[in-house]
Structure 1
Amino acid sequence: MTTTTPSRGRRRAPSKMERAAGKAAALQKPRVILALLLLLGLTSVMLLDGYLRSEIGNDSRVRDGAAYGKVPEKILDGGPILTFNNGTAKTQSVPKKTIVLTFDDGPTGEWTPQVLKVLEDNDIEATFFMVGSMVSRYPSVVKNLVDQGNEVGIHTFTHVDLSYQSTARLKRELLQTQLALAGAAGVTTTLFRAPYSSEINAVDNYSWPVYQEVGGLGYTSVFVNTDSDDWKKPGVSKIVQWATPKKNEGAIVLMHDAGGDRSQTVKALDTYIKKMKAKGYTFTTVSGAQAKLNQAARASGAGQATGAGQQAGQQPPGATGKTSGSGTASGTGSGSGTAVKINTAQAAHRTATGTTLYEGKALIWAVAVAEWVVPALSWFLVVVGVAVMGRFGMMLILARRHYRQRNRKRGRGGKFSWGPTVTRPVTVIVPAYNEKECIANTLKSLAKSTHPIEIIVVDDGSEDNTSEIAESLGMPNVRVIRQENAGKPAALNNGVRNASYDIVVMMDGDTVFEPDAVHQLVQPFADPEIGAVAGNAKVGNRNTVIGAWQHIEYVMGFNLDRRMYDLLRCMPTIPGAIGAFRRDAVLEVGGMSEDTLAEDTDITIAMHRAGWRVVYQEHAKAWTEAPGSLKQLWSQRYRWSYGTMQALWKHRKSLTDKGPSGRFGRVGMPLVVLFQIVTPVFAPLIDVFTVYSMIFVDFQAALLAWLAVLAVQLVCAAYAFRLDREKYRYLAMLPLQQLAYRQMMYLVLIHSCVTALTGGRLRWQKLKRTGEVGTPAGVS
């Protein structure tokens, strides 16, 4: 055994790359936080969008029973306008031959503008009781509606039956709708209509406390006494007939500008307005009707109503700003010390100012983001889902073809062969940095090799006794080369320079080879076009939870992938645990590069671009040790994923390479970017959507969809295990892997993407090993 030991003088100063690595390491925690915040932000956008669509916090219960006795008779026999003055309930009726047109459940982008056009053509105003979530989604419609002179009222934020809800939920529904109105049109309102309400005589013991609470907050509750029942879509003539008051009475008429196809409503509206005008009716808003009542009361000397039916100086929550009344207002708002004159038809409006205005605008902006982001993500995730399922199908088909091709027996087509058997000696390079726990097992496994080899252990500045252990084994075909710590690429390049033979096998210092691994690995070199060979890396410590998860990933994700890439002739990575190269080919492409953290991916792509063919040899098996903790696993996978991104970026010009050497750029690069970066980055959103759907939409349907995807993955995994002749019992860990391990891998990849976007470099990182992976015979 020969030992080469360079002089160990004064330790060199840190290089520029090492200094950059130190700075990058200091930034890792903020980058993890940024990645988590990104995922949290997207989740929040989804939750907001679900809330706007009443999928979150929605309560679909509607009372179909009633109880009476607590509601005063004078209220039940009163008019459709209910106010509370100093806690005293009072009702008002619409003056004769006066119609207050009201529209519920809007706005919508389709029907509300059509209703507004009919109103404008007939020069009348109406009152729209709006759902806050709809206001948030169609703010421009609301702005146009108010600018046209129409009046708005609150119909809650999520169209929920308030008789089932707490006082806190009631106030939240009102406040959120006020904010939506403030952000959309710069106003708040004192008008309220409860969802599922009708005539005032239908108020029962369940809903009466709601109206008392709302009245105490300064709102005017508005009922109907003529219902067009347009939601039934009975036809234009029926809508007109049902909306016509009897005996020239005044009426608050109910129609809808949302909730489905409102084409009949739009057609009936113009006919109805013209018909009622011909009968001598006038049209106004709720505030306009109140103003008429107040004028009549003053004219008759019956007294003077203040604030268009509102208690003077009283405003509902969120109705900050200047107050107004019929003619001159008698109340003052929190945003103004003086009353102002405004359109009588909009007397219930308050000009939004201060915090209410800015919070409202923020709500509208957030909703706009959600309205754009969520549908875009939904469609994108459909594409991602199709791509993932397509990948599964492609892997199964190509893996099967690869297996049958490489394992042909004699007979049809003849037995598969790479060419004449390769028997000449090869060099095995073992880069080692603080591998005292593993180096002995690694070298002992190589000693059993059925192929003639020389072994070069490159000690990369180990601070333990790695090199001493290697030397103490007394193996005649082992050379130990010591160098100052320079990183794994430098250690491998040192080994290549000192190799005695034209084929070099590279492995990790914690890996053990099966006896025939080297012989199997070098057989493809019988084909002179082949420059590198990927072996079959397997997890040795698979009896731990993390080890079992990684075992599934190695068999399914790595080796099944490699079969596919091999047939497509665009293998992206020769694994560091077991790979073989032509020495001249390695030197031709400049050796192992220090430009990236994934030197194995880097050199593999470089060899493709140099015109060499890279293949997968499934029968060359090596056993490696999975990280023993989640922290170590994170560190390993972060280095892999970030290094892969670096390598792909470094070789981005391969996309334009011509001829056979451009095959990786034309086929491999797009596949790797799509399936190893893009789809995994967005895959967490699929899980978020699934959880979201289970909780807020349809639990059974979402669960079945998740189980269907899991079943597809299980089929792929089972087939991969069959091809690799692995025991199926580890597949019992697959559901847990999907719930826990995969989520961690997503975060690692997002972390890597953030690092790639913000810059940063890391050095070769040493993972803590236990040395528990012994000879292959001890692995089950």
Structure 2
Amino acid sequence: MRILPRPTWVLSVAILLVFGTVLVIDGTVRGSTLTEAPAPAVAGPNGQVPFAVAHGAPVVDVRSSPIRTFAPARGTIAFTIDGGPDPSRTAQLLGVLSHFGVPATFFVSGAVVAQHPEAARSILGAGSEIGIRTFTSQDLASVSDTRLDRELTLTELALAGAVDRTTYLVRPPYSASVAGLDDEHFALVRRLADHGMVSVFSDVSAAGWTRRTTDEILATVVTPDKAGRVISVDASEGGPAQLASALARVIPALRDRGYTFATVTRATGLPPAGQQARERDKAVGDGMLAVVAVSTTIVAALGWLLLVAGGLVLLRLALMLVFAIYHSVRRNPKRFRWGPPVTAPVSVIVPAYNEKECIAATVRSLMASEHPIEIIVVDDGSTDETAAIVRGLNLPGVRLIRQANGGKPAALNNGIKHARHEIVVMIDGDTVFEPSTVRLLVQPFARPEVGAVSGNAKVANRKKLVGRWQHIEYVIGFNIDRRIQDLLGCMTTIPGAVGAFRRTALLQAGLVSDDTLAEDTDLTMAVCAAGWQIVYEERARAWTEAPTTLQQLWRQRYRWSYGTMQAMWKHRGSVFRSGPAGRMGRVGLLNLALFQVMLPMLAPLIDVFLVYGLVALDPVRTLQLWGAVLGIQMLSGLLAFGMERENPLPLLWMPLQQLVYRQMMYAVLIKSMGTALAGVRLRWQKLKRVGDFGGAGAAAGGR
């Protein structure tokens, strides 16, 4: 038996591959904190650093022997800008440099060039030159040769695609002056030279210039002999406007003292840094930039979708605070009455297919009902002992109707056909009622406009983890939605486990349809579309056996999800109608679309960005944001459990539920949409039952 239709597997795998690739690419160009090596706090031993380097000029060429170092000519300043190129910061610094006619050497990160190629092009357009800080600008002194080669290759490709140039100038990350070189970092200089690179250090650091006066800055730059200087400027320091302002003060002051300005290569007499990229590298670089552009655009879009998900979470919390709490207060049984007591007998229909584990407890719980009822068990072609068990109970008022297997809708319709009373209660064969359930469930029919009533379905088997997760979902999700929809007059689903209908409303709705896999949602919408009001009676509780394994849960939620989408599409015309049908269409379908389709699909982005943020962004801030979202959900859970008068201890499992259960619901929705797009028609899938009601059967009178 094929559980998953092949087209949905293909679509699901394709989506996962696309999103995984996008996140990996975007995470790579942003720099991975998992591979980041921290800058050394204290320099190590330097016995292997040659004297000519440690006491030499800031530009070091170890590509050949002997080692050569180069310094700017006397009276020449070479500004070097570290970091970027950032569209905003680079533009402000270039604006100041261009205003004074000063070129500079920008040491850029390949990852940033890949994200902002236009900023790299603006550097060359302003007459400055480009060097590199490798791809991720991480400390590469202790990395493997393979990693170093990859860093340089990716950077060269990024430059080739952005500016059609390569460069031989490099500033080793976390470097300052040659005097501070230790053995490990000088070894890096040699490894860079093996790739044809010349390392550029600095004589003066511009750190703190934004907080110093012009005279204080000049004191660190100007020497009695007007020696040439390489000045390193960290583009990420402080605000770009303050840094640009500091340069705007220093440049004219140095010019007044007779200094001139040049790029590193011009100041030291080296060949130009920019070299024409090979045609092959240019083509690969263009492709790389295109892929990065698509990836960053998708991640940016996902970021906006994450904001939408956060907004929906907050909106749902607001609705809960306003509507659900108001519903709980308004329906206080001490003050609220539907009208005159409804005492007329009702017909209870129990569709059953291979329910031998549960059917006895279900029927016995109904027999304990405080309200006069007839019980109709419709055996839908069971191949086990379901019919024999019902017959063997030999209980008065219980009728057994047997039919060939035709599905749950056919069984319900057959039961409706044989029902003797106007009010019909429907209950699943794996559910037990409390003695008061039927009585409470039918009281809203005191109002003639009410055509159907939803009860409160609860998970009975909560001992295992999967059951606890569903218990949380029922309380926080389904039942809160019903409170809100009840007040708004747009109920979209009466659960198959516990619902009551007027026979007249059922006939006007066309009885139970098999057009969808969510016959309860379809029927509810059809009754509403027929002009009837549907309400929620939270006190009419039914205890149902939830799936006990993830595989069974997957099958059930897949059917629910796909069937709900079918029902939404089937009743889409209600959007343009008036009365209860219009409210259901405009408000109820919108509620389903937002909170049962869109939010479950977007919610996993919270966890996706948790992993992504830990890897590629700021892990502390990422954990803070994820914790804030979890806190909001915990608050929602506490409110919901309070309204249901449930023990809140199961909420301790919510963090794990967010990381596992929600991801499965996400996959279910993707698969459902894929099935719909592929045009696959699914059949009903029976879940395996074990008859575990967690003690609810006895409490409900099912001894």
Q: TM-score, normalised by structure 1?
A: 0.80
Q: Helix, strand or coil: the match of 1:429? A: strand
Distance 2:338 2:202 in 1: 87
Partner residue, 1:155? 133
Report the CA distance between 1:397 and its aligned residue: 4.3
Partner residue, 2:309? 384
Partner residue, 1:449? 369
Q: Cα–Cα, structure 1 residues 39 and 590, in superposed 2: closer, same or farther, change >3 Å?
A: farther
Greater shift in the superposed pair: 635-644 or 367-376: 367-376
Q: Cα–Cα, structure 1 residues 494 and 48, in superposed 2: closer, same or farther, change >3 Å?
A: farther
1:110 has 2:88 as partner = yes
**Percent of residue pairs identical:** 47
Partner residue, 2:179? 201
1:61 has 2:39 as partner = yes
Partner residue, 2:112? 134
Question: Contact between 2:205 and 2:232, CA under 8 Å: does it hold in 1?
Answer: yes
Q: How does 1:610-621 map to 2 (within 5 A)?
A: 610-621=530-541
Distance 2:235 2:432 in 1: 73
Greater shift in the superposed pair: 694-703 or 215-224: 694-703
Distance 1:282 1:707 in 2: 54
Q: Helix, strand or coil: the match of 1:623? A: strand
Report the CA distance between 1:744 and its aligned residue: 2.3
Q: Helix, strand or coil: the match of 1:110? A: helix
Which of 419, 427, 430 pairs up with 1:499? Answer: 419
Q: Helix, strand or coil: the match of 2:175? A: coil
Q: Cα–Cα, structure 1 residues 717 and 132, in superposed 2: closer, same or farther, change >3 Å?
A: same
Partner residue, 1:591? 511
Identify unmatched segments of 5+ residues in structure 1. Answer: 1-20, 294-307, 309-344, 410-414
Question: Contact between 2:63 and 2:197, CA under 8 Å: does it hold in 1?
Answer: no
Partner residue, 1:603? 523
Q: How does 1:260-279 map to 2 (within 5 A)?
A: 260-263=238-241, 266=244
Q: Cα–Cα, structure 1 residues 622 and 660, in superposed 2: closer, same or farther, change >3 Å?
A: closer
Distance 1:155 1:587 in 2: 75
Partner residue, 2:289? 364
Distance 1:150 1:558 in 2: 62
1:398 has 2:398 as partner = no
Q: How does 1:340-739 map to 2 (within 5 A)?
A: 345-346=272-273, 348-354=274-280, 356-409=281-334, 415-693=335-613, 702-703=622-623, 706-739=626-659
Q: Cα–Cα, structure 1 residues 742 and 43, in superposed 2: closer, same or farther, change >3 Å?
A: same
Report the CA distance between 1:586 and its aligned residue: 1.4
Q: Cα–Cα, structure 1 residues 405 and 122, in superposed 2: closer, same or farther, change >3 Å?
A: closer
Q: Helix, strand or coil: the match of 1:70? A: coil
Greater shift in the superposed pair: 252-261 or 511-520: 252-261
Distance 1:209 1:366 in 2: 34
Report the CA distance between 1:749 and its aligned residue: 2.6
| 1:307-334 Cα deviation digits (max 9, x unpaired) | x4xxxxxxxxxxxxxxxxxxxxxxxxxx
Q: How many corresponding residue pairs? A: 700
Question: Contact between 2:482 and 2:536, CA under 8 Å: does it hold in 1?
Answer: yes
Distance 1:493 1:543 in 2: 35
Q: Cα–Cα, structure 1 residues 646 and 204, in superposed 2: closer, same or farther, change >3 Å?
A: same
| 1:413-438 Cα deviation digits (max 9, x unpaired) | xx432222222222222222222332
Q: Helix, strand or coil: the match of 1:500? A: coil
Distance 2:237 2:107 in 1: 13
Identify unmatched segments of 5+ residues in structure 2. Answer: none
Report the CA distance between 1:692 and its aligned residue: 4.3
Q: Helix, strand or coil: the match of 1:615? A: strand
Q: Cα–Cα, structure 1 residues 453 and 138, in superposed 2: closer, same or farther, change >3 Å?
A: same
Which of 20, 34, 37 pairs up with 1:40? Answer: 20
Q: Cα–Cα, structure 1 residues 140 and 212, in superposed 2: closer, same or farther, change >3 Å?
A: same
Q: Helix, strand or coil: the match of 1:451? A: coil
Q: Helix, strand or coil: the match of 2:306? A: helix
Question: Contact between 1:99 and 1:253, CA under 8 Å: does it hold in 2?
Answer: yes
Report the CA distance between 1:122 and its aligned residue: 6.8
Partner residue, 1:330? none
Larger Rg over CA atoms: 1
Partner residue, 1:301? none
Q: How does 1:232-311 map to 2 (within 5 A)?
A: 232=210, 234=212, 247=225, 249-255=227-233, 257-263=235-241, 266=244, 284-288=262-266, 292=269, 308=271
What letter is aligned with 1:565? Q
Q: Helix, strand or coil: the match of 1:221? A: strand
What letter is aligned with 1:401? Y
Distance 2:691 2:672 in 1: 29
Greater shift in the superposed pair: 608-617 or 646-655: 646-655
Report the CA distance between 1:613 and its aligned residue: 0.9
Distance 2:89 2:625 in 1: 35
Q: Helix, strand or coil: the match of 1:437? A: coil
Distance 2:47 2:469 in 1: 65
Distance 2:557 2:308 in 1: 26
Which of 199, 203, 211 pairs up with 1:221? Answer: 199
Question: Contact between 2:380 and 2:402, CA under 8 Å: does it hold in 1?
Answer: yes
Q: Cα–Cα, structure 1 residues 458 and 232, in superposed 2: closer, same or farther, change >3 Å?
A: same
Aligned-residue CA RMSD (Å): 3.5
Report the CA distance between 1:684 and its aligned residue: 0.9
